[in-house]
Amino acid sequence: MALFLQRLVDGLSSGSVYALIALGLVIIYRGTGHLNFAQGEMALFAAYVVYQMGEWGLPIGIALVIGLATGFVIGAVAEVGLVRPISKKSPFAVFIVTIGLFQLLNWLSGAIWGDQVLPNSGVGSKQQQYPSLFPDQPDDFVKVFGAAIRYQSLGVLLLTLVITGLLFLLFNKTKFGLAMRAVASNAESAKLVGIRVNTVLMVSWGLAAAIGALGGVVFAGINNSVSLGLMFTVFIYGSAAATLGGFDSPGGAVIAGLAIGVIENMAAGYIGFIGQEMKLAVAFIVILVVLMVKPSGLFGTAKVERV
């Protein structure tokens, strides 16, 4: 029981990070129909920025705000400067451009912060740990049925649920959310009712990158460090979550992200031959089976339109 609970909470905690990355992917996909391959590296860059703020002695709250703002700006600039001009010429080229952006951001992070795992006293880091959003000392946990539930894990899960709730309110209860849904549904008509489509797309990309950035900061916190490869597997899991949830469903992305986190942890823990190396494969087998039965994902909408 204790072990099960432990694995469940650990799974939900890493699943939260996948969910945040998946949310960013879904917001962009709904807005412009593009898969943002650079989502993970946008988050990586923001995670490095938060580390740097910590080095400069800023409290985590302020560091986080600066990190998320950096994510927002990267996303918005990428949309205005790269995606928009190129998608006019060829929608498919945008995918290639986001791959280029992925490499650019990874290279830029390496050029600024080097290829060491940070913090690292060897390269002069003042911090012992990566700035954590939640209490993360060795004794920061509660015992529940014998399992040690870390505040960090609970905090990460709670944060993800709060972000999901806020996004739901944004989409369904605000005028800007209505505009985002309208642009996603029919951009031409959105222009004809007076929505500034370009502004909506710019903010959508910014918002998506900022949510992804939160995922990056949280994941670096769970890992206690940031390094250039931090987001590679997370991005793969995040895309898998977005696919499994149905690429146009934010709620689906979160549920699928959490589910993938739990499945990989349970499988790695309980099925002997799987272990840490094979758990990626298990998650993908589950996804494959679901998509064979329901191609639009668990919560995605198969497009229905009468003419």
Name the residue nearer to another protein (CB basis): 183 or 226. Answer: 183
Q: What is the DSSP string of 31-59?
A: HHS---TTHHHHHHHHHHHHHHHHHTT--
Among the listed residues 191, 224, 251, 291, the single contact to another protein using CB under 8 A: 191
Q: Judge contact between 213 and 221, C-beta under 8 A.
A: no
Q: How far is the CB of 120 from another protein (least distance, A)?
A: 48
Among the residue ranges 35-43, 120-128, 181-189, 278-286, the one whose residues contact another protein (CB under 8 A)? 181-189
| SS3 call for 264 | helix
Task: Examine residue 306 and tell whether it contacts another protein (CB under 8 A).
Answer: yes
Name the residue nearer to another protein (CB basis): 85 or 229. Answer: 85
Near another protein in 276-305, by CB under 8 A: 301, 303-305
Among the listed residues 194, 276, 277, 293, the single contact to another protein using CB under 8 A: 194
Name the residue nearer to another protein (CB basis): 180 or 214. Answer: 180
Task: Examine residue 66 and tell whether it contacts another protein (CB under 8 A).
Answer: no
Alpha-carbon distance 266 to 98, whole Å? 33
Task: Examine residue 236 and tell whether it contacts another protein (CB under 8 A).
Answer: no
Alpha-carbon distance 19 to 21, whole Å? 6
Q: Judge contact between 251 and 172, C-beta under 8 A.
A: no
Among the residue ranges 41-49, 56-64, 75-83, 193-201, the one whose residues contact another protein (CB under 8 A)? 193-201
Task: Examine residue 167 and tell whether it contacts another protein (CB under 8 A).
Answer: no
Q: Judge contact between 94 and 100, C-beta under 8 A.
A: no
Residue labelled with tokens 């003042």: 126
Q: What is the DSSP string of 128-180?
A: SS---SS--STT-EEEETTEEEEHHHHHHHHHHHHHHHHHHHHHHHSHHHHHH
Task: Examine residue 182 and tell whether it contacts another protein (CB under 8 A).
Answer: yes
Task: Examine residue 170 and tell whether it contacts another protein (CB under 8 A).
Answer: no
Among the residue ranges 33-41, 109-117, 133-141, 177-185, the one whose residues contact another protein (CB under 8 A)? 177-185
Among the listed residues 66, 77, 84, 181, the single contact to another protein using CB under 8 A: 181
Alpha-carbon distance 295 to 30, whole Å? 17
Alpha helix segments (H runs only) across 174-224:
175-185, 187-192, 197-223
CA angle 149, 130, 228 (to 5 degrees): 110
Name the residue nearer to another protein (CB basis): 103 or 301. Answer: 301
Task: Examine residue 266 and tell whether it contacts another protein (CB under 8 A).
Answer: no
DSSP assigned state of 79: I
Q: How far is the CB of 89 from another protein (least distance, A)?
A: 12
Name the residue nearer to another protein (CB basis): 88 or 143. Answer: 88
Among the listed residues 1, 193, 293, 302, the single contact to another protein using CB under 8 A: 193
- The separation between CA 253 and the C-alpha centre of its own chain, rounded to angstroms, equals 10
Q: Are strands 141-144 and 147-150 parallel, antiparallel or unpaired?
A: antiparallel
Name the residue nearer to another protein (CB basis): 143 or 306. Answer: 306
Name the residue nearer to another protein (CB basis): 102 or 247. Answer: 247
The residue ranges that bind another protein (CB under 8 A) are 175, 178-179, 181-182, 184-186, 188-196, 301, 303-307
